[in-house]
Structure 1
Amino acid sequence: MAEKFNKTAINFSYVEKLDILIQSFQDRFSEFKKVKPLLDIFSNPFTISVENAPESMQLEIIDIQNDQDLRNKFNERDLLNFYRCIDKNSYKELRINALKCASLFGSTYICEQTFSILNNNKTKNRNRLANESLEAVLRVATSKFEPNIKKIVSTMQCHASN
């Protein structure tokens, strides 16, 4: 009888934790529902219905949808580079919206990328990496710096062995 009681207590514990988890997901997704119209504008300002946009952005959306040069740039570039190339004064609200939307995901992506690099380099074969070495590996792996290999090789001196 005591065994049945313990299983019941454990099951209630799981149910409580699952209820908390479900509520947490509902809270997070309800936040996304609030910003979905702004994310839609960010993802493609050329297909959004002007009537569904906030009033502060409606004129800018009309202007951008009628600008063929910007439409071409949108098709040629990635999203962030597109928003970097539009005029700061003419499309102020769209740029502000783009910065807000990009910041929602930027830090998460960088965090996940760094964690993935850390996991790949801290494998069972490389488990003896010192923290200093691992820090250097992370710095090199997450850097956007492109080394000039030809220049580095050309400055090296050959050493003859004895």
Structure 2
Amino acid sequence: MIKTSNRVDFLRKMGFEVYYGDATRLDLLESAGIAQAKILICAIDNPTVTKQVTKLVKEKYPHVELMIRARNRDDAYDLLNLGIENIYRESLDTSLSLASDALHKLGFRKYTLNRQVQNFIKYDEAILRRLAKEPKKGTDSYIFVARQELEKQERYLNEDLIEGL
């Protein structure tokens, strides 16, 4: 495994301007040019740190558009509730690619699968935004609403599939 310091050194040798340190420190963000930035892409593995960076940048540099990777659905809920619009769930695209490729190997048409994947993403993003407003998962209220949303999504996807045949 490559150590972070070796990665930073390697990237600097390749000619990249690299800043390494605690992204929750305003002085580090400022030395990296946050005041002039148009976009900040945050792909930190620790959801707590991600939320801290998000809050800090939203408060101090509201002109910066945030594009944030979320590790899972719960992290995405938290980010949505912080007002973040550009959320990229870590395993969503990989999971959908894997499912699509598996179904293609089972004989489904690639075009149909691509269309269904796009529809799934559209419906799932809408559900994500609605469920973010619900009490956290595990509560009876969340489970009830989540099941209703999943049934609705399944119905829409089936209708889309039939319409496309």
- The normalised TM-score by structure 1 is 0.33
Larger gyration radius, structure 1 or structure 2: 1
- Write 1 or 2 for the structure with the bigger share of strand: 2
- Write 1 or 2 for the structure with the bigger share of helix: 1
